[in-house]
């Protein structure tokens, strides 16, 4: 195994533990991994809230819980607008989609996403 | 560009800066008005500004002579994957668009095994990870038209295989690549809270003459760890680390008369990062003024 392969495996194990419910890599503090994982989920949620505020408005107080359900179904793929569209599709499939406001907001997000995805600059929450 | 040590020349930026963000694009010029705290340079998040579609407010700032530093957050310099040409090209194009004195990134990784973490994660401080980081930094330097500075991150987790302190790791990286440092004093505070690392000892062990500029940001204590949120006010402990840096770095400034127009003991620029929960202009102005006071040494008790 080359040094790059070894580092890749180690880093992949940590990221999988953080965003894809993978096992805690040997030697890492499980409590800290959980804290980091929660922090990444909050950042992901804030990014989606910025990319598609209408979803947050429609969901109101259930936004965080609904987003946690969406995040549990898989890690973020693409940018925050892609994630917002994936969240909107998740909402339409879930019980949240029974709410008319949520349905309307989700459809609007999906429609806008397919229209603008080629041309827009998607802002990333910086951090660091 | 494979820069050598920054040496006795002036720092690439000086004074006090702020992270330019779309949400505060009208605030930044207001902070430059007479009676305000002044903004001597800004930094932009490279991923969020397209070189061909620069917002008018940012273009205006640049046209009025404010240096603009592109700051990447997703290059994954410490990752095992080869660096993305597209991300490097974006940094290079922004540096050209703004005639930037340098660009900056992080000693971190943010993707592996097909997953994006969405945030900066620490790399193991081992010999073999350092070799890969050195290769990646050299690749980036060769692809960029201006010098590169790399930043210490705020970590919540640590690798059990760490063989070096962060200061040792960064020092060796600098020695091997000539890369500049973007020193985040808030992240030194983060390391103090989260891992018990003494920030002053870290400062003393770092090659401070290689610091191109400095980051300051607020955070919060939760679950017993420091979260570098960039959404809270800068706390006094972080300004104390900044003061310690100023104290140690001031004597490293260029010698009087060695360079025309450069004052003795000119410190690298210090930039406030605010990314969320934006406060009033007055609150940002007060934070910038507090930073300027610390950097100027005016808060020190003179004999």
Separation of alpha carbons B177 and B158, rounded Å: 24
Q: Do the domain assignments include residue A29? A: yes
Question: How crowded is the C-beta side of B170, counted as CA atoms within 13 Å?
Answer: 27
pLDDT class for A115, splitting at 50, 70, 90?
A: confident
With CA atoms as reference, report the closest residue to B277 among B40, B19, B69, B24.
B24
Q: Do the domain assignments include residue A85? A: yes
Q: Give the distance from CA B49 to its chain's centroid.
A: 18
* Number of domains, chain A: 1
Is A124's CB within 8 Å of B74's CB? yes
CATH-assigned architecture of domain B16-295: Alpha-Beta Barrel (3.20)
Q: Do the domain assignments include residue A44? A: yes
Q: How far apart are the first and last CA of chain B?
A: 44
**Which domain range does residue A77 map to?**
3-116
- Give residue B300's pLDDT: 58
Please name every residue paired with B226 in a beta bridge, in sequence order, or none if there are none.
B221
Structure tokens at B221: 């204590």
Q: Do the domain assignments include residue A125? A: no
Q: Do the domain assignments include residue A123? A: no
Structure tokens at B237: 């402990």
pLDDT digits (tens, 9 = 90+) for B169-209: 999 999 999 999 999 999 999 999 999 999 999 999 999 99
| Residue B19 burial by Cβ neighbours in a 10 Å radius (0-12, 13-18, 19+) | buried
- Give residue B265's pLDDT: 65
Mean pLDDT confidence for B123-150 = 98
Q: Do the domain assignments include residue A121? A: no
H/E segment holding residue B222? strand B220-222
Is the ipTM above a cut-off of 0.95? no
Mutate to test the interface with A, among B23, B47, B117, B272 (most CBs of A within 10 A): B117
pLDDT digits (tens, 9 = 90+) for A49-82: 999 999 999 999 999 999 999 999 899 988 899 9
| B228 reaches A (C-beta below 8 A) | yes
Number of Cβ pairs closer than 8 Å across A and B?
129
pLDDT digits (tens, 9 = 90+) for B28-79: 999 999 999 999 999 999 999 999 999 999 999 999 999 999 999 999 999 9
- Domain regions of chain B by residue span: 16-295
Q: Do the domain assignments include residue A43? A: yes
For chain A, positions 97-116, list CB contacts with chain B under 8 A: none
Mean pLDDT score of chain A, rounded to an integer? 93
Helix, strand or coil, per DSSP, at residue A107: helix
Question: How far apart, in Å, are the Cα atoms of B101 and each of A30, A90, B33, B212, B259?
Answer: 42, 45, 24, 10, 18
* pTM attached to this predicted model: 0.92
| B26 reaches A (C-beta below 8 A) | no
């Amino acid at each position: 195994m080359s040094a790059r392969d070894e580092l890749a495996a180690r880093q992949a194990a940590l990221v999988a533990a953080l965003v894809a419910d993978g096992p805690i890599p040997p030697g890492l503090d499980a409590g800290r991994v959980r804290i980091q994982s929660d922090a990444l989920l909050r950042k992901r949620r804030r990014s989606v809230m910025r990319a598609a505020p209408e979803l947050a408005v429609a969901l109101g107080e259930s936004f965080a819980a609904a987003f946690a359900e969406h995040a549990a179904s898989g890690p973020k793929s693409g940018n925050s607008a892609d994630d917002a569209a994936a969240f909107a599709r998740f909402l339409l499939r879930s019980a949240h989609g029974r709410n008319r406001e949520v349905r309307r907001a989700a459809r609007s997000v999906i429609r806008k996403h397919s229209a603008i995805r080629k041309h827009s600059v998607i802002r990333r929450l910086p951090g660091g | 560009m494979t820069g050598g040590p920054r040496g006795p020349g002036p720092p690439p930026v000086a004074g006090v800066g702020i992270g330019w963000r779309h949400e505060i694009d009208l605030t930044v010029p207001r902070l430059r008005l007479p009676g305000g705290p002044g903004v001597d340079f800004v930094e932009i998040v490279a991923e969020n500004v397209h070189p061909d579609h620069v917002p008018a407010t940012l273009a205006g700032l640049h046209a009025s002579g404010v240096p603009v530093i592109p700051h990447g957050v997703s290059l994954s310099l410490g990752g095992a994957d080869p660096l993305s040409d597209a991300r490097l090209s974006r940094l290079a194009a922004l540096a050209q668009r703004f005639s930037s004195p340098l660009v900056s990134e992080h000693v971190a990784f943010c993707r592996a095994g097909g997953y994006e973490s969405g945030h900066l994660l620490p790399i193991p401080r081992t010999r073999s990870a350092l070799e890969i980081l050195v290769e990646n930094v050299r690749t980036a330097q060769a692809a960029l038209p201006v010098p590169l500075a790399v930043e210490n991150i705020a970590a919540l987790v640590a690798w059990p295989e760490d063989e070096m302190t962060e200061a040792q790791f960064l020092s060796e990286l600098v020695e091997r690549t000539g890369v500049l440092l973007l020193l985040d004093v808030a992240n030194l505070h983060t390391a103090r809270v989260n891992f018990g690392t003494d920030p002053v000892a870290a400062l003393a062990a770092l090659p401070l003459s290689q610091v191109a500029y400095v980051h300051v940001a607020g955070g919060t204590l939760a679950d017993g760890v420091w979260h570098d949120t960039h959404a809270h006010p800068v706390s006094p402990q972080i300004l104390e680390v900044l003061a310690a840096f100023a104290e140690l770095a001031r004597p490293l400034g260029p010698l009087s008369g060695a360079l025309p127009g450069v004052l003795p003991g000119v410190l690298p620029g210090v930039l406030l990062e605010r990314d969320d929960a934006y406060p009033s202009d007055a609150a940002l102005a007060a934070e910038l003024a507090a930073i300027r006071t610390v950097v100027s040494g005016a808060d020190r008790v003179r004999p």
